[in-house]
Structure 1
Amino acid sequence: MNNKGITLIELLLSLAFMMAIVGLIFNIYIMSKRVFNASVEQSFTQKNSRLVSDFIIKELRNAKVIEMDENNIKNKGNRYYCLSIKNDGYNNYLAKQTIENGEIISENQYGNNLENIIFMSTEEKEIMKVIVISKEKEKEFEIEFEFLLNNIDKLNVNIEGSNRIYYLKR
């Protein structure tokens, strides 16, 4: 007898084999998509931290006086500035406040998803150390950097650090 075609068992085995291959390909696709999305989130968090770090360096590098205590800087000028972490109800951001005659006249926001910022002094008077900590979902990213203060007359920041800093510009 000449059997041309395929049997039902051969067809079922072929379908099962194809379903296993399609399932494997689908699982690889889903895992790749999760890894890609996690990488994009981490990249965004790192970029945000670097932008905040660059802004801090730009603001403080040519500061004349840097203080942790607002009372110490009030006497030194009518206009001074404050960098600190603030929360808008959804996330933390770096706030730059311009203060004139004791009143906040403007506030600008920089970055988001910031967990904390710590301003510290080093043993050398002209060098400041800053730690920027960002958090996206459960992943935390930390940048620690030091930079040279070009025009500093007085740096009054503890080695332990502070998350709020006041400064005068030249």
Structure 2
Amino acid sequence: MKNWQKYKYVVERKKGLTMVELLISLALIGVIILLVSSIYIFGVKIFDKGTTQSNIQVETTQAGDFITKELRNAVEITFNTPVNIREYSMIYLDKNIIKYKPEGKTLEESVNKTDAIILDSNDLSFQTRNKNSMAFLNFTIKGTGKQQSYLLNSEVLLNNIKSIENSSSYNFIYYKVIKD
């Protein structure tokens, strides 16, 4: 009987964790930390991807809106370099950036219309064509960044031009607009 009481006394007096309990709790904590960190990393990657896609879409659509607004009321459009460039406004691609040169300015005074979202010179293109006795300008902008891309195709009715030659695809355009 004394052995039993001695054993009971020793078992009841010991407080704390056994080695097995400690190892199991550490393993559970490790699994929880691993799960939480992988969910966090996944969320950060998805957020970054969404932000990049959003930025590309915003840049591309703003450039498209600008091109539409500028060229809709153009009175003259050409893809040939004019004798006096200063008499024409110009939209063109320079080092992956869509730029705008206002009439009366030089190329050095051009304004950036996008960040560097254009990877290839073919990612900005202008084409003219006639359809039903009306002149149209088709343009395409493909913005790209961090393995995300956005393609914008648009057709603009040229209000002040009655007839225009069908053209090949160019990544620049010279034009004149009516001054206010």
TM-score, with length taken from structure 1: 0.82
Tell me if the contact between 1:62 and 1:151 (Cα under 8 Å) persists in the aligned partners.
yes
Q: What are the equivalent positions in structure 2 for 1:11-90 lying under 5 Å apart?
A: 11-71=22-82, 74=83, 79-87=87-95
Tell me if the contact between 2:135 and 2:162 (Cα under 8 Å) persists in the aligned partners.
no
Residue 122 of structure 1: SS of its match in structure 2? strand
Cα offset, 1:126, TM superposition: 2.3
Cα offset, 1:164, TM superposition: 1.1
Distance 1:141 1:11, change over 3 A: same
The CA deviation string for residues 16-35 of structure 1, in whole angstroms up to 9 with x for no partner, is 01111111111110111011
Q: Which residue of 2 aligns with 1:107?
A: 110
Distance 1:44 1:103, change over 3 A: closer
How many pairs were matched up?
161
Asked if residue 119 in structure 1 is aligned to residue 119 in structure 2, the reply is no
Identity of aligned residues (%): 27
Tell me if the contact between 2:86 and 2:106 (Cα under 8 Å) persists in the aligned partners.
no
Tell me if the contact between 2:71 and 2:158 (Cα under 8 Å) persists in the aligned partners.
yes
Cα offset, 1:123, TM superposition: 4.1
Cα offset, 1:86, TM superposition: 0.6
Structure with greater helix percent: 2
Cα offset, 1:137, TM superposition: 2.6
TM-score, with length taken from structure 2: 0.78
One-letter amino acid of the counterpart of residue 125, structure 2 = I
One-letter amino acid of the counterpart of residue 131, structure 1 = T
Cα offset, 1:109, TM superposition: 1.4
Asked if residue 140 in structure 1 is aligned to residue 149 in structure 2, the reply is yes
Q: Which residue of 1 aligns with 2:174?
A: 166
Tell me if the contact between 2:75 and 2:161 (Cα under 8 Å) persists in the aligned partners.
yes
Query: Which runs of 5 or more residues in structure 2 are unaligned?
Result: 1-7
Distance 1:60 1:14, change over 3 A: same
Larger radius of gyration: 2
Structure with greater strand percent: 1
**Dislocated runs of 4+, deviation >6 Å:** none
Cα offset, 1:105, TM superposition: 7.6
Quick check: 37-46 or 119-128, which moved more? 119-128
Asked if residue 9 in structure 1 is aligned to residue 20 in structure 2, the reply is yes
Query: Which runs of 5 or more residues in structure 1 are unaligned?
Result: none
Cα offset, 1:56, TM superposition: 0.3
Cα offset, 1:157, TM superposition: 5.1
C-alpha separation in 2, matches of 1:19 and 1:121: 63
